Structure 1
Amino acid sequence: MAVLIRNEVFSCFVFYGVILVMKIYIIAIITGQVRLRKKAFANPEDALRHGGVQYHREDPYVERCRRAHINDIENILPFLFLGAIYSMTGPSLTVARLHFLVFLMARVLHSIAYLFALRAPTRSLAYTVAQIPCLSMALQILIAVAAYA
């Protein structure tokens, strides 16, 4: 582990990766808090605990928060895999940091656009921008390992 941490690119990746994992948790907490505030529970036992079975229901804003959370999981997990492998291919620290930063900023904007229902195409553009560094890392990984395949 110490050897990986001494790898500047991997250390940079770990920094951004941990922030992104924390972001997933933050969106999950927001979703839970909105459920409580809106009294819209996915499970009957939770509804009973918080006032009655009538609160076992869907709420549009809770669903929006939940979709933002699911979207984070669907996109951040592949980034974590790609970023870890990419870090081991020997990229430039500056270029790698740019990949990681662009992904982070685009995902933050995506969540803001989702949670605050910003006008289209803000969310779509943020999603697309976040895919660019992932595609770039994936291609660079494939190029790096092609010689060994």
Structure 2
Amino acid sequence: MIRNEVFSCFVFYAVLLVIKMYTIAIITGQVRLRKKAFANPEDALRHGGLQFHREDPYVERCRRAHLNDLENILPFLFLGAVYSLTGPSLTVARLHFLVFFLARVLHSLAYLLALQAPTRSLAYTAAQVPCVSMAVQILMSVASFA
């Protein structure tokens, strides 16, 4: 059992984010199958022929959503874990984690559903705010040791 409440809160949201990333990966694979648009010739051959070794706009949209998750969630996982060790208040930490989580869910929905601009950009920006805040607080807590 994890006894650090802030770290436990972080782990909760971190696991939800990893599940969300897996979900986007599965969606991408399913869309590839449905659209018969395969990135590799061997996959295209298995599913009907080399004519299906091609790109599809919606497959690419799903793939970009997944790539964006990798570019943004992985840094959050590092920042959130280290931030949890700096002794922040549970309420403030929970707010950081929740805002990031909700913004990333909205960002994925905006990407996959092609929601009207600037929905995706606003969600991206909202997710960056807690990351920048955590990074600054981490640096402030360790600066005297540098």
TM range (shorter): over 0.9
Helix, strand or coil at the partner of 2:145: coil
Aligned counterpart for 2:28 among listed residues 31, 52, 58: 31
Q: Distance in 1 between matches of 2:143 and 2:43?
A: 51
Aligned counterpart for 1:93 among listed residues 85, 90, 94: 90
What does the per-residue CA deviation read over 1:21-80, in whole Å, with 9 as the maximum and x for residues that have no partner? 111100000000000000000000000000111000000000000000000000000000
Aligned residues: 146
Structure 1 residue 147, shift from structure 2 partner: 1.5
User: Aligned Cα RMSD in Å?
Assistant: 0.6
Scaled by the length of structure 1, the TM-score of the pair is 0.97
Unaligned runs of 5+ in 1: none
Helix, strand or coil at the partner of 2:86: coil
Q: Which runs of 4+ in 1 moved over 2 A?
A: none
**Map 1:97-112 → 2, pairs under 5 A:** 97-112=94-109
Q: Distance in 2 between matches of 1:16 and 1:92?
A: 16
Q: Distance in 2 between matches of 1:61 and 1:99?
A: 32
What does residue 132 of structure 1 align with? 129
Scaled by the length of structure 2, the TM-score of the pair is 0.99
- Does the alignment pair 1:75 with 2:77? no
